[in-house]
A and B are shown apart, each in its own frame.
Chain A
Amino acid sequence: MTVYLLKRLAIALATLVLASIVVFAVLEILPGDPARLMLGMNASADQVELLRNQMGLNAPLLLRYLHWAGGLASLDFGRSYTYSVPVIDLVRERLAVSLPLALIALALSTLIAIPVGLYSASRRGRVGDTVAMGAAQLGVAVPNFWFALMLIYVFAVWLRLVPAGGFPGWGPGAWPALKSLLLPAVALALPQAAILARVTRSALIEVLNEDYIRTARAKGLPYRAVLWRHALRNAMIPVLTILGLQFAFLLAGTIIIENVFYLPGLGRLVFQAITQRDLIVVESVVMLLVAAVIAVNLLVDLSYAVVDPRLRSRP
């Protein structure tokens, strides 16, 4: 078990370091001089050169990488070229939108998918199952940003229940903020829920065919108890795997969804930073997202051991 944990941890760290090298290298080849961009077209070559020196852009490549990576590790991301504030402040501000959004979406998707998967698996082949899986098949095919547009049309334009976009901030209280995150979260969650429901169903069906399920039923346990206590627990591994993978999809999905709803979140920040060539912001946010994905996958790996005691006894 300890060896397994240490190995997973080492792999995660190595992936993180490699990812940072890739991000750094990719952004090195980005066309456009950030110093020139900051000063504008009228600046003289001398001024640009001076600023390049100040920003450390003329230092050797390896030195710059080490400086940047060291900064990342201590959460000192540097300053944004376009906003002229420390990147960490920007990130903190934007995270207050994106993190609740992703968490609400993840919770919604799980709360929809697991019961639907359970329902479908327990009524396999019957009308309820066919309808639920048909809906899931449709849900997988719906692009989340189109679904978002349709939600805006129905709930914001037509019924006027929620705002069509924008974010009031957490200052005026939690309710207005949550209200403006509701539609984006639903738009993000639905396609994910469709995938998760399908996986839950097929994992459950496989488990329900096992001998120990028959034994549990034979000893007189009610079907419901068998389903929740024995079947669902054993079907958790594929479900957790997909949940972990979906986290990456969710993060990427926020980029588009935040653009649809004009939410000032991380996704919109990174998209704008890319178009404005604000390299430091791009590097930092991308690394943050990659680190989040790696961390979640590590967590999923570790949770296997919690769900499946057999893994714990493995060397």
Chain B
Amino acid sequence: MTLRADIPDETFTGILAKAFRNTAFVTGFVITLLILAMAILSYVWTPYDVTRLVIADKTQGPSLAHWFGTDHFGRDILAMIMVGARNSIAVALVAVGIGMGVGVPLGAFAAARGGLVDEALMRVNDLVFAFPALLSAIMITAIFGPGAVNAIIAIGIFNIPVFARVARAGALAIWPREFILAARAAGKSSTQISVEHVLPNIATLLLVQGTIQFALGILAEAGLSYLGLGAQPPMPSWGRMLFDAQTRMVVAPWMAIFPGMAIVVTVLGLNLLGDGIADILDPKSRRQR
């Protein structure tokens, strides 16, 4: 059995009721769901084909036929934003997965072992933090070539120390607790204790950090693809769309406005969701950045 110390005797329905009264959570949840739905919908339906160039329709303003206007190749901006959402979500989500998958075990291990192992792991963490993340991401994508996969790796690497730090801090708070002592007395190894008792108790922290890193990942991916280092054309990406828009700001400002708003809404939704979850499950927790 898993002991959950931090959640007082609250029923699932109780938490759910609390969630629905939390404005941040509801807003964030709805936005995130809509963005996800939009990305999934783009696999089966988009208003126009994003790979077909219709030069006759180039740089048209928003209209009934093209809600968000068209770009310099006559492609529909709305359709491109829908397809671009896939790329943003995929890159950011897998990058969070990498960060959690490597960072959490490292952090939990450091907390369980303590002493020299802990100190060494944290110093390596400090080392990674000393590199401005975006600069290193640019270097990584430049070394291995631009593209979505390398963008994932570049962003994912910098999620590792973040999750390691959060997992370690959370685990350190759990280790002195009595139920851990009980588990030890029962003869469980520190790995078993970490997995069975520590992890479930820091899951909330990790979930909240996960949504924050997801949002940061979307921003980072947009930055990389703006610089031409993310997903390559013809695959639409929000950052790349902004790059294309920059030189055409005077004639077609909508080319810049709508993709940017897509990024803002997505990141806002995820941040609200993270805030909401933190509020509901642990009113005392504070966001860490």
Contact = CB atoms under 8 A, between A and B. Distances in A.
B210 interface: no
B268 A138 contact: yes
B226 A145 contact: yes
B135 A143 contact: no
A149 B245 contact: yes
A140 B211 CA distance: 14
A252 B223 CA distance: 11
Contacts of A149: 242, 245-246, 249, 256, 260
Nearest to A241: B289
A30 interface: yes
A145 B138 contact: no
Contacts of B215: 141
Interface in B127-180: 127, 129-135, 138-139, 142-143
Contacts of A260: 246
Contacts of A11: 123, 126
Contact of B260 (A30, A146, A275): A146
A197 interface: no
Given A14-B123, A30-B143, A150 B131 contact: no
Interface extent on B, as a size class? 35 or more
B272 interface: yes
A294 interface: yes
Contact of B222 (A138, A143, A290): A143
Contacts of A255: 134-135, 138, 227
A18 B127 contact: yes
- Classify the interface of chain A: helix, strand, loop or mixed: helix
A289 B132 contact: yes
Nearest to A149: B256
A251 B130 CA distance: 12
A204 to B, nearest CB: 13
Contacts of A218: none
Interface in A50-96: none
Task: Output the residue of A146, A199, A245, A249 with the most chain B CB within 10 A.
Answer: A146
B30 interface: no
B203 to A, nearest CB: 23
A163 interface: no
A270 B135 contact: yes
Contacts of A157: 249-250
A293 B132 contact: yes
B111 interface: no
B116 to A, nearest CB: 15
B36 interface: no
B268 A141 contact: yes
Given A195-B289, A255-B135, A146 B142 contact: no
Interface in B248-289: 249-250, 253, 256-257, 259-260, 263-265, 267-268, 271-272, 275, 286-287, 289
Interface of A: 11, 14-16, 18-19, 22, 26, 29-31, 137-138, 140-143, 145-146, 149-150, 152-153, 157, 195, 198-199, 202, 242, 245, 248-249, 251-253, 255-256, 259-260, 270-271, 274-275, 282, 286, 289-290, 293-294, 297
Ranked 8 nearest A-B pairs via Cβ: A252-B132, A252-B134, A146-B260, A141-B267, A141-B268, A274-B142, A248-B132, A141-B264
Given A19-B131, A251-B132, 5 more contacts: A141-B268, A141-B271, A256-B223, A260-B246, A275-B142
27 contacts: A11-B123, A15-B130, A18-B127, A138-B264, A141-B264, A141-B271, A143-B219, A143-B263, A146-B259, A149-B245, A150-B260, A152-B249, A153-B253, A157-B250, A195-B289, A199-B289, A248-B130, A249-B132, A251-B135, A252-B134, A252-B135, A255-B135, A270-B135, A271-B138, A271-B227, A275-B142, A290-B131
